Amino acid sequence: MKDGTYVVRMIEGLPVFGNQINMSDGYWVSDDSGVSVHGELDYDGVVDALSLMDIEDGEIVGIWQNKGLSYIDRAYHFRNRSTALKAGEAFEQIAIWDCATGTDIRI
């Protein structure tokens, strides 16, 4: 699965990703309800992770990899860097995503 942020659609009870969301400003922050797995996520792994997270139609999730782990988390967009960093700290995240530069900001 390609790293990125996606809207989840439920079709016949199964989660399906729509197009990737590409923002040119602001910051993506994940909450602490996500799932991490060793290695890359395949489709079955994504479905299992979303089931564990009780994802509903229309929710936004981020998928990314770091040091041999794949993460799938609910994602929230913030326009303000300071607010995004505070949310990231509150959710005990490793980093937030800077949409303007296309890089992560370590917390």
Question: What ranges do the domains of the chain cover?
Answer: 4-106
68-77 residue pLDDT tens = 899 999 999 9
Residues for the chain: how many in total? 107
At residue 46, the pLDDT reads 85
Q: Encode pLDDT of 38-64 as tens digits.
A: 988 888 888 888 888 989 999 999 998
pLDDT value for 22: 93
Instruction: Report pLDDT for 81.
Output: 98
Spatial neighbors of 8 by CB under 8 A, at least 6 apart, are 15, 16, 17, 18, 50, 55, 56, 57, 58, 59, 60, 61
* CB distance 68 to 38 below 8 Å: yes
* Distance, CA of 32 to CA of 9 (rounded, Å): 21
Mean of pLDDT over the chain = 92
